[in-house]
């Protein structure tokens, strides 16, 4: 049993290394460093990582032949701006932004979201909220809100889009 668990844990570690390997700023192409400064002013980079992905004719391929530090084409950076705002941005080696996912905590949801939740769940109050915006190259950004609602001793999570459409309740 111990050998099986050891084998599974080694396999899990190998998968993590396959999809993301941390690097230092000196290993990141200058074009990416310059693009980040332009695209996200006021943010500081907390982590640089390489991802063995290739985009070929709008298809994503994982290149398992790459080893950490062997010249990747795709980089993922984690940036933050204060304690309640961080994002992950993915760039190609030319410094072109491929995607970004922004996370914000403790933001006031827009009026359509607040109104929709108040109408669907009368008497419930928003106790916590978080915002997530997803952007992919050439596509419209998608805004999502995660709200923790409370009423008496009951709690529920409600997920909405930027227009207040309820996407999920748990």
pLDDT band at 15; cut points 50, 70, 90: very low
Structural domains in the chain, CATH included, are: 1-97 (no CATH), 106-170 (3.10.450.40)
Residue 132 has pLDDT above 80, yes or no: yes
pTM summary value: 0.67
Residue 159 has pLDDT above 90, yes or no: yes
Can you count the helices (H) and strands (E) in the chain? 3, 11
What are 50-105's pLDDT values in tens digits? 887 655 665 655 555 555 555 678 899 999 998 888 999 999 889 999 989 999 88
Distances (CA, A) of 134 to 67, 102, 125: 29, 7, 26
Q: What is the pLDDT of residue 165?
A: 95
């Amino acid at each position: 049993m111990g050998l099986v668990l050891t084998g599974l844990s080694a396999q899990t570690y190998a998968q993590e290394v396959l999809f993301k390997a941390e690097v230092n700023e000196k290993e990141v192409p200058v074009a990416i460093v310059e693009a980040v400064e332009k695209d996200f002013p006021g943010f500081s980079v907390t982590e640089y990582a390489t991802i063995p992905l290739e985009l070929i004719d709008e298809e994503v391929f994982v290149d398992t032949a790459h080893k950490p530090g062997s010249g990747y084409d795709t980089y993922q950076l984690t940036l933050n701006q204060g304690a309640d705002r961080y994002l992950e941005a993915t760039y190609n080696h030319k410094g072109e932004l491929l995607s970004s996912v922004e996370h914000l905590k403790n933001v006031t949801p827009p009026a359509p979201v607040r109104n929709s939740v108040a109408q669907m769940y009368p008497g419930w109050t928003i106790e916590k909220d978080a915002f997530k915006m997803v952007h992919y190259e050439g596509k419209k950004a998608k805004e999502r809100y995660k709200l923790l609602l409370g009423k008496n001793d009951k709690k529920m999570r409600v997920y909405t889009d930027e227009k207040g459409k309820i996407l999920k309740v748990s």
